[in-house]
Structure 1
């Protein structure tokens, strides 16, 4: 049931969903609290359906898009999960080397939205690799609830190593120029920040609403940063002032945008947290940033 309208949903419902999506509430607790807002014709089931991702009708670039080649690959991650599956996408019949972009998923594995972002990146003229950090546990299970539960079982630092390994794999790909950046969302935003910490040679990093590095790590960043935040995302935004202070004091190149009146997850077009205007503007800025720093 998707006939509800975002403007009719109280902000507290989005905040509840954020707590649920980030493991502060289990499903039972989320549904119980959701019941407080099931009034005036709204039911818990309609609210739950409305807040859940819709992967069927939201793909912007189909898996069989004739302008790109997209295939699953396996690459080595000796310090992480051993071997990791990822979606490699690039313009079809490309005859020149292209810069690369690692696309990092949220806290639920390589779901259809992130695969779509990988294909969007290829459509923009890059070779992209979207890894699945759930590979050692069998891979993205087909739904986000189980994906979140699975991802909690993996060590965060091991997963970081999986994405660092993806960087090296893509950098050395025969069709890549060797210039590689990263874009990540939520958990992936944190990983994008941390890849900038770990990889002084990283070409560019675009964290979307990602948790910030600790101060002793942030000072190590060499890559230019494009940071994207939603104004209503108070949980993540709380760490931004201190992070910005470190970036300024250490002359680390960065640009930051806080998009007004949008929630955490505003780029994800599969849930009602999506804001089309902010998502499109932020993505245009992302591609322009990669064009500037990777080409």
Structure 2
């Protein structure tokens, strides 16, 4: 499949590929830039309950036009990947999917296996920090509006909403123990609705990322409402030895900026770019153009041959 390139109208090519994580097939897109030389590669995945069709193709096309191969995957239990029960977000499983994706990238022809980097956004912005701290050989990391601290994000919700999510989470954990279907909670909702994200920009911002004619379930198994509290991947930033770019939204209503900035300051080779937008606005319009340009400049500096 041919996709449009950058201003020079070069053509990049995308193919459907898959790899195994655990016992399940993980579906992915592989973008290859023009040219015959081995290309550096970005491993990419979306945030909380997000799937690759929610504008990750727009990012990958831009990176590919700049000379980067991209492996863009859906987590197990989500999107086009296998895994059941559906919509169950297990943090350990998702981190295993990242490790499996990196391992698969190392088997690909036409890829510079010494220049494999990670790109994550929102919840996966935390995953790429954790993965780079644990998986050797990562060249660089881009963490866009990253989720870095479960407690900080939980504090963005009102206490009554938190209490109701906790009750659903307990019911879901009991259901899992008894072998029953998961108890679900909405991913995004309007203010005061029971949802994992209910800031004023959450529902319209999330839905704006869903392509017309595509259905993305707005729910996950409620157990995440408890397990997410212990997930603080920002603490691992100090162990990320490769260059890492934190793209931080000043008005982030989901992943507060201040904890991320504190963690970023501890990354040995950390860089920070600030944006005045909110958590969901960074994916579209002029904000998207600015953040992608900054990310490509960072990658060109640290990953391309002859860079820093």
TM-score, structure 1 as length reference: 0.64
The residue that corresponds to 2:91 in the other structure is 156
- Structure 2 unaligned runs (5+)? 149-231
The residue that corresponds to 2:106 in the other structure is 171
1:145-294 matches, cutoff 5 A: 150-151=86-87, 153-178=88-113, 179-212=115-148, 213-214=232-233, 217-236=236-255, 237-247=257-267, 252-260=268-276, 262-269=277-284, 275-276=285-286, 278-294=287-303
Query: Quick check: 2:41–2:111 contact (8 Å CA) kept in 1?
Result: yes
CA distance in 2, matches of 1:124, 1:291: 9
Query: Quick check: 1:186–1:265 contact (8 Å CA) kept in 2?
Result: no
Query: Quick check: 1:185–1:210 contact (8 Å CA) kept in 2?
Result: yes
CA RMSD of aligned residues (A): 2.7
- Structure 1 unaligned runs (5+)? 1-58, 142-148, 270-274
The alpha-carbon deviation at position 267 of structure 1 amounts to 2.8
CA distance in 1, matches of 2:126, 2:73: 15
The residue that corresponds to 1:118 in the other structure is 60
TM-score, structure 2 as length reference: 0.62
Runs of 4 or more above 3 Å deviation: 59-62, 213-216
The residue that corresponds to 1:73 in the other structure is 17
The alpha-carbon deviation at position 194 of structure 1 amounts to 1.6
Give SS of 2:70's match.
strand
In the comparison of the two structures, how many residue pairs are matched?
212
Structure 1 residues 140 and 115, CA gap change in structure 2 (3 angstroms): farther
CA distance in 2, matches of 1:170, 1:245: 30
Structure 1 residues 74 and 282, CA gap change in structure 2 (3 angstroms): same
Higher relative contact order (CA 8 A, sep 6+): 2
The alpha-carbon deviation at position 137 of structure 1 amounts to 5.1
Query: Quick check: 1:68–1:91 contact (8 Å CA) kept in 2?
Result: yes
The alpha-carbon deviation at position 228 of structure 1 amounts to 0.4
CA distance in 2, matches of 1:150, 1:264: 26
Q: In the alignment, is residue 103 of structure 1 matched against residue 119 of structure 2?
A: no
Structure 1 residues 215 and 233, CA gap change in structure 2 (3 angstroms): closer
The residue that corresponds to 2:80 in the other structure is 139
Give SS of 1:95's match.
coil
